[in-house]
Amino acid sequence: MHGGIAWLPEVLKAIAPLIATVSVMQFTVVHAPLPQFVQFLVGSLLAVAGMLLLFAGIEHGILPMGRFIGAELPRKGSLWLIAAVAAAMGFVTTVAEPDVLILASQVQTASGGSIRETHLVYLVAAGVGLFAAAALLRIAFGVALNKLLAVAFVLVIVLSLFAAPELAPLAYDAGSVTTGVLTAPVLLALALGLSAVLSRPSGALDAFGLLGLASLGPIIVVLLVGWLR
């Protein structure tokens, strides 16, 4: 827990402006019922506690294990294993990503059930998994990031031109929520572990850019599935 408490100043800095803004609105504009405002304050305290536990878990468990896995994969001598592990880790962490679950739930409600929550979650997770695998293979082969990003962006633009008007905004939102509190540290740890054992001049800098690629995956997958339907 000591590691989590160390994050307390940062967590308070992040959440204090939200509490202050809502409190000012409560007493000047909104005037919500007192029980609802108290519920907001209690929820904010619970959020602080949850974030401290989350950061402690990431710092002491997820990041070290992710780096270890990323460093061990090249020693097994199989690029397919690297791709498979990256895809699997990207998929399972995205399925559990709170931001993705919230978006999928809201989409199901707004669409009247025509877009199922589970279907959207699995599509987004598949996109993250595929592009996480591509990102780690890019590191392994030493492919320039700008080339891979250029191809991905061209594909996004082309698919957007032919997508249904109501589908494109959903696809872009799906891409924006993927690299959250679970997915980002896991994928970054894998990439940092992999790049650390490759002994290249760029070193750990090779690991960066992975999250950008991973966020493009869901956009492409959602647009592609919508175009094929």
Tens digit of pLDDT for each residue in 71-130?
Answer: 787 777 677 888 888 899 899 999 988 889 999 999 888 888 888 889 999 999 999 999
Q: Structurally, how many domains does the chain consist of?
A: 2
Q: What is the pLDDT of residue 203?
A: 55
Same domain for 150 and 104: yes
Mean pLDDT of the chain: 85
Same domain for 182 and 148: yes
Residue 206 inside a domain? The answer is yes
Same domain for 193 and 88: yes
Same domain for 118 and 54: no
Same domain for 196 and 104: yes
Extract the tokens encoding 89.
Answer: 């880790």
pTM (two decimals)? 0.81
Question: Which has the closest alpha carbon to 47: 58, 59, 39?
Answer: 39
Residue 70 inside a domain? The answer is no
Helices (H), 142-196: 145-162, 167-176, 183-196
Q: Cβ atoms within 10 A of the Cβ of 47, count? A: 15
Q: What is the pLDDT of residue 1?
A: 47
Task: State percent of the chain over pLDDT 90.
Answer: 28
Separation CA 10–CA 25 (nearest Å): 24
For 54-65, the pLDDT digits (tens) are: 888 888 888 888
Extract the tokens encoding 49.
Answer: 């506690």
Residue 68 inside a domain? The answer is no
Same domain for 196 and 107: yes
Which domain, by its residues, includes 50? 1-60
Same domain for 176 and 90: yes
Find tokens 């989409």 and name the residue. Answer: 107
